[in-house]
Chain A
């Protein structure tokens, strides 16, 4: 057993508990004064709440009760039978209800978490007092625009590979490895993050079995996917948002990034909103530059009380 790793500025959550979402156990982590006003942090696809171990304490120090949960199948939450955007929304509402009842709270969503929260702000606006979307503003489906016959080809490849994955995942488990090996694998999708950080993430996002470490993420989950939905539907909903809004986009391209550019989405930014663009930074901007992003968010949110 290795001693727990540390990372400069990383702080374990002050409180940890589970919320029962229709039988699915959702792991919740909190940082900061329990009596302070609530700020929800919503992680993205294939991430987990402990990826906020540096960022969340900075926001908590600004006077917020910071609450983050692991989406179903992610982090310490239960692996379950089915996963969908709508199920994630439902699980989120269970956490909101547990933490704040139906009172409005401040919300920050990163990547897919920003997209899910854009939908929730449209479906249940009474739950929001302010909304920060960190590079979670989709403009279009990943991949180039294709003529119809090529689009069917691309879909064909995607569907076939997804079905093969489903056939394999029936008895699948994640590949075990050492801490550096898991960090190296994650570096493929997080090329801009330091190896020291990724190794720290292994110790909070993976579990140690007899034959090595395994990421906790449900092995049946898979990036990408296909369906009739369009990611930009979440963008369209921003236009009608009535609470203060801060959108953040980045310029550096990387595998997990969405590549959305300000001119593509400017017209959907709500009247009480602003859009910030960081040409040189990547999709995980709050991990690359936690102090700068935390200061920007704290300044935008203003006095918690």
Chain B
């Protein structure tokens, strides 16, 4: 496995090539769940992908920089994904849990670069409540090890508004040129994901079918 180091502001991001391209087909970008990192080998359920397979370690995870003093939002992680897309060009994204939510946000934010976003089950899928979150000030043991305890805390309770998530579906549908740029393969559907799955332009295929669909 070879690794490329990307820069997002002051953070160094590790982008791992899990399997090099054997065809000219577009790459698949794997986004891990909250508290995970890119796996060492290609997960068996992604083996069918024809192109290269890459995995990005989010800020505070795997081999990417552990920030000083936390301050995570899902929004800043869109910048992580954007750095990977800037390196890869067009890609299909498969995300687990938190990575699934980020796949959706990236598909809306960079609709020409993301050729299909597949949301699957995984840690950090639900996030926090759908509405005004109770402010909470906690002091964590900041041991600067991956995964960062501030990432685990802040990204497990960030607001996940159904209305906001559907805005990103609309952006992906309006600007990607794809009829169904988002696919919900997750079995567990917190309120934001329920709303996404019901929106026009969102398919609900199982993972194997979704990979086939976006490979075409």
A contact residues vs B (CB 8 Å cutoff) = 21-24, 72, 78-84, 86-87, 89-91, 93, 119-120, 122-124, 148-149, 151-153, 155-156, 159-160, 163, 166-167, 169-170, 220, 225-230, 233, 236-237
Task: Say whether, besides A89-B137, A170-B9, A228 and B142 are in contact (CB < 8 Å).
Answer: no
For residue B150, give the distance in angstroms from its CB to the closest CB of chain A.
8
B67 near A80 with CB under 8 A, answer yes
A81 near B137 with CB under 8 A, answer no
Q: Mark B128-148, 1 if CB is under 8 A from A, else 0.
A: 000011111111101010000
* Chain B interface size, under 10 / 10 to 19 / 20 to 34 / 35 or more: 35 or more
A169 near B134 with CB under 8 A, answer no
A228 near B71 with CB under 8 A, answer no
In the assembly, what is the distance between CA of A134 and CA of B136, in Å?
23
B8 near A87 with CB under 8 A, answer no
Interface SS majority for chain A: helix
* Binding stretch for chain A, among B24-32, B34-42, B156-164, B206-214: B156-164
B72 near A228 with CB under 8 A, answer no
In the assembly, what is the distance between CA of A155 and CA of B137, in Å?
29
In the assembly, what is the distance between CA of A199 and CA of B108, in Å?
42
Q: Mark B1-24, 1 if CB is under 8 A from A, else 0.
A: 000000111110000000000000
Q: Which of A90, A220, A230, A237 has the most CB of B within 10 A?
A: A90
B154 near A228 with CB under 8 A, answer no
> Count the A-B residue pairs with Cβ separation under 8 angstroms: how many?
138
B82 near A84 with CB under 8 A, answer no
> Within 8 Å CB of B133, what residues of A?
229, 233
A163 near B69 with CB under 8 A, answer no
Residue of B nearest to A94 (CB): B139
A84 near B135 with CB under 8 A, answer no
B71 near A163 with CB under 8 A, answer no
A236 near B67 with CB under 8 A, answer no
* Binding stretch for chain A, among B45-53, B92-100, B170-178: B170-178
Indicate which residue in B76, B82, B167 contacts A155 across the interface (CB closer than 8 Å): B167
> Within 8 Å CB of A79, what residues of B?
10
In the assembly, what is the distance between CA of A293 and CA of B158, in Å?
37
B174 near A87 with CB under 8 A, answer no
B10 near A81 with CB under 8 A, answer yes
Q: Which of B156-211 contact A (CB under 8 A)?
A: 158-161, 163-165, 167-168, 170-171, 174-175
Q: Which of B81-97 contact A (CB under 8 A)?
A: 82-83, 86
B73 near A167 with CB under 8 A, answer no
Residue of A nearest to B144 (CB): A23
